[in-house]
Chain A
Amino acid sequence: MKIKTLLASAAMALGLATSVYADGHEKTKVGFVYVGPVGDGGWTYEHNKGRLAVEEEFGDAVETVFVENVAEGPDSERVMTQMALDGADLIFTTSFGYMDPTINIAKKFPDVKFEHATGYKRADNVSTYSARFYEGRAIQGHIAGSMTKSNIIGYIGSFPIPEVIRGINSAYIHAKKVNPDVQFKIVWAYTWFDPAKEADAAKVLIEQGADVVLQHTDSTAPQAAAQEAGNVITFGQASDMGQYAPLPRVSSIIDDWAPYYIARTRAVMDGTWESKDTWDGIGAGMVGIGEISDAVPADIKEQALAMKTAIADGSYHPFTGPLKKQDGSDWLAEGEVADDGTLAGMNFYVEGLEGDIPQ
Chain B
Amino acid sequence: MDLSVINPILLFAALMSAATPILFAATGELIVERAGVLNLGVEGMMIVGAICGFAIAVETGSPIVGFLAAAAGGALLSLLFAFLTQITLANQVASGLALTLFGLGLSALLGQGYVGIKPPRLPDVNFGFLADIPLIGPIVFSHDPILYVGLILVAAVWATLKFTRAGLILRAVGENHDAAHALGYKVVRIRTLAIMFGGACAGMGGAYISLIRVPQWTEGMTAGVGWIALALVVFASWKPWRVLLGAYLFGGITQLQLNLQGAGVAIPVEYLAMSPYLITIVVLVILSADKSAAPGSLGRTFHASS
Q: B112 at interface (Cβ–Cβ under 8 A)?
A: yes
How far, in Å, is B117 (CB) from chain A's closest CB? 8
Q: Which of A1-46 contact B (CB under 8 A)?
A: 36-41
Question: Contacts of A160 on B, CB cut-off 8 Å?
Answer: 269
Q: Which of B6-51 contact A (CB under 8 A)?
A: 6-7, 10, 14, 18, 21
Q: B221 at interface (Cβ–Cβ under 8 A)?
A: yes
Chain A 185-226: CB-based contact to B (< 8 A → 1; otherwise 0): 111101101111101110111011100000000011100110
Question: Contacts of B269 on A, CB cut-off 8 Å?
Answer: 160, 188, 356, 358
Q: B273 at interface (Cβ–Cβ under 8 A)?
A: yes
Question: Contacts of A244 on B, CB cut-off 8 Å?
Answer: 116
The verdict on A39 contacting B7 (CB below 8 Å), with A220-B116, A228-B215 known, is: no
The verdict on A219 contacting B262 (CB below 8 Å), with A196-B214, A225-B214, A227-B118 known, is: no
The answer to whether A194 and B273 have CB atoms under 8 Å apart is no
Chain B 86-129: CB-based contact to A (< 8 A → 1; otherwise 0): 00000000000000000010001001100111100000000000
Q: In the complex, A282→B219 CA distance in Å?
A: 29
The answer to whether B254 and A204 have CB atoms under 8 Å apart is no
The answer to whether A199 and B223 have CB atoms under 8 Å apart is no
The answer to whether B118 and A40 have CB atoms under 8 Å apart is no
Q: In the complex, A185→B258 CA distance in Å?
A: 11
Counting residue pairs across A and B whose Cβ atoms lie within 8 Å, the total is 111
Question: Contacts of A359 on B, CB cut-off 8 Å?
Answer: 268, 270
Q: A303 at interface (Cβ–Cβ under 8 A)?
A: no
The answer to whether B214 and A199 have CB atoms under 8 Å apart is yes
The answer to whether B273 and A208 have CB atoms under 8 Å apart is no
Question: Contacts of B14 on A, CB cut-off 8 Å?
Answer: 200, 203-204
Nearest A-chain residue to B5, judged by Cβ: A208
The answer to whether A207 and B216 have CB atoms under 8 Å apart is no
Q: B264 at interface (Cβ–Cβ under 8 A)?
A: yes
How far, in Å, is A191 (CB) from chain B's closest CB? 7
Question: Contacts of A228 on B, CB cut-off 8 Å?
Answer: 215
Question: Contacts of A36 on B, CB cut-off 8 Å?
Answer: 220
The answer to whether B225 and A186 have CB atoms under 8 Å apart is no
Q: In the complex, A195→B116 CA distance in Å?
A: 13
The answer to whether B262 and A195 have CB atoms under 8 Å apart is no
Chain A 218-243: CB-based contact to B (< 8 A → 1; otherwise 0): 01110011011000000000000001
The answer to whether B223 and A195 have CB atoms under 8 Å apart is yes
Residue of B10, B111, B117, B264 ringed by the most chain A CB atoms within 10 A: B264
Chain A 61-97: CB-based contact to B (< 8 A → 1; otherwise 0): 0000000010000000000000000000000000000
Residue of A37, A39, A69 ringed by the most chain B CB atoms within 10 A: A39
Question: Contacts of A207 on B, CB cut-off 8 Å?
Answer: 7, 10
Chain A 157-197: CB-based contact to B (< 8 A → 1; otherwise 0): 00010000000000000000000000001111011011111
The answer to whether A37 and B263 have CB atoms under 8 Å apart is no
Question: Contacts of A209 on B, CB cut-off 8 Å?
Answer: 5
Question: Contacts of B223 on A, CB cut-off 8 Å?
Answer: 191, 193-197
How far, in Å, is B193 (CB) from chain A's closest CB? 30
Q: B259 at interface (Cβ–Cβ under 8 A)?
A: yes
Q: In the complex, A191→B224 CA distance in Å?
A: 11
The verdict on A190 contacting B273 (CB below 8 Å), with A37-B108, A39-B111 known, is: yes
The verdict on A196 contacting B21 (CB below 8 Å), with A187-B258, A220-B116 known, is: yes
Q: B237 at interface (Cβ–Cβ under 8 A)?
A: no
The answer to whether B215 and A39 have CB atoms under 8 Å apart is no
Residue of A194, A204, A358 ringed by the most chain B CB atoms within 10 A: A204
The answer to whether B255 and A243 have CB atoms under 8 Å apart is no
Q: B261 at interface (Cβ–Cβ under 8 A)?
A: yes
Nearest B-chain residue to A69, judged by Cβ: B220
**Of A154, A205, A221, A358, which is within 8 A of B214 by CB?**
A221
Q: A336 at interface (Cβ–Cβ under 8 A)?
A: no
The answer to whether A358 and B220 have CB atoms under 8 Å apart is no
Q: Which of A105-124 contact B (CB under 8 A)?
A: none
Q: In the complex, A193→B111 CA distance in Å?
A: 17
Question: Contacts of A39 on B, CB cut-off 8 Å?
Answer: 108, 111-112, 115, 218-220
The answer to whether A201 and B258 have CB atoms under 8 Å apart is yes
Q: In the complex, A359→B271 CA distance in Å?
A: 11
Question: Contacts of B21 on A, CB cut-off 8 Å?
Answer: 196
Q: A59 at interface (Cβ–Cβ under 8 A)?
A: no
Q: B303 at interface (Cβ–Cβ under 8 A)?
A: no
How far, in Å, is A254 (CB) from chain B's closest CB? 16
Q: B189 at interface (Cβ–Cβ under 8 A)?
A: no
Can you pick out 23 interface pairs between chain A and chain B where the beta carbons lie within 8 Å of each other? A39-B111, A39-B115, A39-B218, A40-B219, A41-B116, A69-B220, A186-B261, A187-B258, A188-B269, A193-B223, A196-B21, A199-B214, A200-B18, A200-B213, A200-B258, A204-B259, A204-B262, A207-B10, A221-B214, A221-B218, A221-B221, A228-B215, A355-B264
Known contacts A201-B258, A204-B262, A356-B268, then 16 further A-B pairs from the complex at CB < 8 Å, ordered by chain A residue: A37-B108, A38-B108, A39-B218, A185-B262, A188-B273, A190-B273, A191-B223, A195-B221, A196-B21, A197-B223, A203-B14, A204-B258, A207-B10, A219-B218, A219-B221, A359-B268
5 closest cross-chain pairs (CB), A and B = A243-B116, A39-B219, A37-B220, A358-B269, A194-B223
Residues in chain A within 8 A of chain B (CB atoms) = 36-41, 69, 154, 160, 185-188, 190-191, 193-197, 199-201, 203-205, 207-209, 219-221, 224-225, 227-228, 243-244, 354-356, 358-359
Residues in chain B within 8 A of chain A (CB atoms) = 5-7, 10, 14, 18, 21, 104, 108, 111-112, 115-118, 209, 213-216, 218-225, 254-255, 258-259, 261-264, 268-270, 273
